[in-house]
Amino acid sequence: MNLLIYAILLFSLALFWSPLAAVANLSVQDDRYFQVVVGPILCLFLLYRERTSIFPEARFSPRLGVPLLLLATLLGLALLRQQPGSDESRKLFLVIFAVILVWMAAFVLCYGTRSFKAALFPLCCLFLTVPVPPALMNSIILALQHGSADVSYALLRLAGIPVFRQGMTFSLPGLDIEVAPECSGIRSCLALMIVGILASRVYLRSGWRRWALIVMTFPIAIFKNAVRIVVISSLSAYVNRAILSGPLHHSGGPVFALVGIALFAPLLFALQKSEIRSMGPGVSAII
């Protein structure tokens, strides 16, 4: 069945080449969408890692797989043939969503429902490939921007640094800074979310703990970004104004990523420990 699914995948790539190429270009041109290329890689990695639990019960299932594959393909083609005047970002979102359904239907056809259920988590990683429409992406960035500003203001006050806030603008002694959309931390938030998805699958077993870890990556990313804003703004105000245009501001992501790791790792460890306790004695940690 491997040859069949490879053939279906190649056929779908040829059939939907235009929107798939558009998504690939989007990931290159706009780093807010780098996750669209990570999704398939994450899916393939988890499928390979869990192959011993996914594929032993594989069964060719044409009775269910063929209708699903036809419906998903027809849906994709119908969406692809929408009028050119329609919203292109919305059209791309819907077409890529339909392509993911085609790939999932192909999996059901070639490997059956039991293997599909076992592979559902890895396969759902493919939905990272679906490009979030710009309006929704802007709303997410705005939420992160406001969250980072709120936490930054609280940290500055907690540190005893005199600060006056007006919207997204902070006035420190001799320095005004603005938490712009570019400072929202959207890229590091997406990166941490992907790490959370992978770690939740590798190190945790219960569904609610997996979701808790993934959801908590967002407040962790906001706090990490707020620390970055506070450190750079306070150093610029009290040490050297040139820090605002220096490497710590523009290339200091890996340094401040340590803050996110310092919060993420204990959370993962605590969730794993609680999972071990709930399973009773005799269960060892995965880490």
Measured CA to CA, the distance from residue 87 to residue 268 in angstroms comes to 41
* Cα-based angle 92, 95, 98 (whole degrees, multiple of 5): 150
Span 180-233, pLDDT tens digits? 887 778 888 999 999 999 999 999 988 899 999 999 999 999 999 999 999 988
Strands 175-178 and 164-166, bridge-based pairing = unpaired
Task: Name the band, by pLDDT with cuts 50, 70 and 90, for residue 7.
Answer: very high
Percent of the chain with pLDDT over 90: 63
Residue 83 has pLDDT above 70, yes or no: no
Q: pTM of the predicted model, to two decimals?
A: 0.86
Indicate if 142 and 268 belong to the same structural domain.
yes
How does residue 28 score in pLDDT terms, banded at 50, 70 and 90?
Answer: confident
1 or 196, greater pLDDT? 196
Q: Which residues of 134-166 are buried (b: 16+ CB within 10 A; e: fewer)?
A: eeebeebbeebbebbbebbbebbeeeebebeee
Kindly report the number of other CB atoms within 10 A of residue 207's CB atom: 10
Could you tell me if 287 and 228 are in contact, meaning their C-beta atoms sit under 8 angstroms apart? no
Q: Residue 197's closest CA among 28, 26, 38?
A: 38
Regarding whether 214 and 116 lie in a shared domain, the answer is no
Structure tokens, 119: 């592979």
170 with 103, same domain: the answer is no
Does 284 score more than 80 pLDDT? no
Closest CA to 253 of 161, 205, 163, 182: 182
Q: Are residues 127 and 140 in the same domain?
A: no
Determine, yes or no, domain membership for 286.
Answer: no
Euclidean distance between the first and the last CA atom of the chain, given in angstroms as a whole number: 35
Average pLDDT in the chain: 89
Say which range, 59-63, 99-103, 243-247, has the weakest mean pLDDT.
243-247
What percent of the chain shows pLDDT beyond 70?
95
Half-sphere exposure of 35 (CA within 13 A, CB side): 22
Residues 119-131, mean pLDDT to the nearest whole number: 95
Q: Which of 108-117, 143-152, 235-244 has the lowest mean pLDDT?
A: 235-244
pLDDT beyond 90 at 249 = no
Split at pLDDT 50, 70, 90, the class of 118 is very high
Whether residue 145 sits in one domain with residue 84: no
Indicate whether 170 belongs to any domain: yes
Q: pLDDT: is 1 or 65 the higher one?
A: 65
Of 72, 97, 131, the one marking the end of a domain is 131
Average pLDDT over residues 2-24: 92
79 and 177 in a single domain? The answer is: no
| Helix/strand/coil for 284 | coil
pLDDT for the residue numbered 286: 47
> Does residue 81 sit within a domain?
yes
Provide the pLDDT for residue 1: 65
Domain that holds residue 101: 2-131
Confidence (pLDDT) at 247: 76
pLDDT classification of 51: cutoffs 50, 70, 90: very high
Residue with more model confidence, 8 or 245: 8
Q: Name the domain boundary from 90, 114, 131.
A: 131
Instruction: Say if residue 110 is in the same domain as residue 209.
Output: no
Alpha-carbon distances, residue 41 vs 33, 36, 64, 107, 122 (angstroms): 15, 10, 27, 16, 10
| Residue 284 counted as domain residue | no
CA–CA distances in Å: residue 205 to residues 138, 261, 275? 34, 21, 8
**Are 122 and 144 in a shared domain?**
no
Q: Are residues 18 and 75 in the same domain?
A: yes
Alpha-carbon span 37 to 35, nearest angstrom: 5
Q: Are residues 109 and 148 in the same domain?
A: no
The total of structural domains in the chain comes to 2
Choose among 111, 5, 123, 7: nearest CA to 61.
111
Final residue in a domain of this structure, among 109, 131, 153: 131
Question: Closest by alpha carbon to 136, among 99, 107, 93, 171?
Answer: 93
Same domain, 148 and 28: no
Q: Are 125 and 46 in contact, with CB atoms under 8 Å apart? A: yes
* Residue 171 backbone dihedrals phi, psi, to 5 degrees: -110, 110
Asked if 236 and 113 sit in the same domain, the reply is no
pLDDT in tens, 263-277: 999 999 999 999 988
In this structure, which amino acid lies at residue 154? A
Q: Which string of DSSP letters, residue by residue, matches 156-195?
A: HHHTT---EEETTEEEETTEEEE--GGGS-HHHHHHHHHH
Q: How confident is the model at residue 285 (pLDDT cuts 50, 70, 90)?
A: very low
In a domain, residue 287? The reply is: no
Residue 246 located in a structural domain? yes
